[in-house]
């Protein structure tokens, strides 16, 4: 059966060991939004992709040409080589084992020493005013100044599959989960993830665009709610006078 395969079309030698960042269309689409923003904001270079087992049925026009579902970008930032795997769609669950193999191949080919995963966490789990929770594989030595992921809460989807695979392969990895509304497209949560990544990389990544967009969306939502409330009030008053 055909599966996912790694295709690095432009090998690049990075200085020192690199860090790979990725995420998916999970809660709030946080992982996808954060990685897409990084690729754009840091002007990262496309060097390859993970081939899909089935022919892709979507694309977009980018500076480098037509986009693919799972693209690999790279950037040298000071003494850190940064790799971003941009998943424009989630992997097909029927071929998840081959996607994980292709992902591990990318890690080995590009001398990745640490993986940074981004997901979203249902805001109903929030305690106090905490912004995010996190977890790591046993081989990771990194620690973040935030509450650790709670026991008993499930992580689902491709992010869970990658966490288990990275644990099994002994690859240092850390996953960050900003709180988000599950059904929303949450640019504010993505900005939170970018701030954590900036701290880890010791590189300033401006999140103003994400925050401004989030504020515009929130203002539009408030306007719609206000209009709906006004219409509901007017309808009740009309019924009272008939």
DSSP 97-160: HHHHHHHHHHHHHTTEEEEEEE--EEGGG--TT--EEEEE-TT-----SSPBPPTT----SHHH
CB 159 within 8 A of CB 175: yes
Question: What pLDDT shows up at residue 152?
Answer: 87
Question: What pLDDT shows up at residue 12?
Answer: 75
Q: What is the DSSP letter of 205?
A: -
Q: Which of 61, 66, 48 is nearest to 4 (CA)?
A: 48
CA distances from 6 to 24, 51, 71, 99, 109 (A): 18, 6, 10, 9, 10
Q: What is the DSSP letter of 78?
A: T
Question: What pLDDT shows up at residue 221?
Answer: 58
Query: Which residues, listed in sequence order, are joined to residue 70 by a DSSP beta bridge?
Result: 87
Q: What backbone phi and psi angles, to 5 degrees, belong to 126?
A: -65, 140
pLDDT in tens, 179-236: 998 888 899 999 999 999 999 988 889 988 888 876 676 666 556 666 665 656 555 5
Average pLDDT over the chain reads: 88
Split at pLDDT 50, 70, 90, the class of 2 is confident
CB 180 within 8 A of CB 120: yes
Question: What pLDDT shows up at residue 107?
Answer: 95
With 70 as the cut, is the pLDDT of residue 162 above it?
A: yes
Question: What pLDDT shows up at residue 127?
Answer: 86
pTM for this predicted structure: 0.88
Average pLDDT, stretch 151-171?
95
pLDDT above 90 covers a percentage of the chain that reads 66
The lowest-confidence range among 48-52, 77-81, 120-124, 131-135 is: 77-81
Question: What pLDDT shows up at residue 238?
Answer: 56
Question: What pLDDT shows up at residue 212?
Answer: 86
Q: What backbone phi and psi angles, to 5 degrees, belong to 116?
A: -120, 115
Question: What pLDDT shows up at residue 122?
Answer: 92
Burial class (CB in 10 A: 0-12, 13-18, 19+), 151: exposed
Split at pLDDT 50, 70, 90, the class of 10 is confident
Question: What pLDDT shows up at residue 92?
Answer: 95
């Amino acid at each position: 059966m055909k599966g996912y395969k790694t295709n690095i079309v432009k090998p690049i030698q990075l200085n020192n060991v690199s860090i790979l960042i990725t995420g998916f269309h999970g809660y709030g689409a946080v992982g996808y939004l954060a990685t897409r923003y990084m690729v754009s904001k840091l002007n990262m270079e496309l060097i390859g992709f993970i081939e899909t087992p089935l022919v892709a049925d979507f694309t977009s026009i980018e500076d480098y040409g037509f986009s693919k579902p799972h693209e690999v970008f790279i950037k040298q930032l000071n003494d850190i080589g940064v790799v971003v795997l941009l998943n424009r769609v989630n992997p097909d669950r029927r071929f998840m084992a081959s996607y994980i193999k292709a992902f591990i191949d990318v890690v080995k080919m590009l001398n990745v020493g640490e993986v940074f995963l981004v997901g979203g966490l249902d805001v109903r789990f929030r305690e106090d005013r905490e912004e995010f929770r996190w977890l790591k594989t046993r081989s990771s030595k990194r620690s973040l100044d935030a509450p650790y992921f709670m026991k008993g809460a499930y992580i689902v989807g491709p992010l869970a599959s990658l966490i288990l695979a990275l644990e099994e392969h002994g690859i240092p990895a850390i996953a960050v989960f900003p709180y988000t509304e599950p059904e929303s497209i949450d640019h504010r949560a993505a900005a939170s993830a970018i701030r954590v990544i900036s701290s880890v990389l010791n590189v300033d990544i401006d999140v103003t665009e994400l925050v401004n967009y989030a504020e515009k969306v929130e203002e539009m939502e408030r306007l719609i709610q206000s209009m709906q409330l006004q219409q509901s009030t007017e309808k009740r008053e009309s019924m009272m006078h008939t």
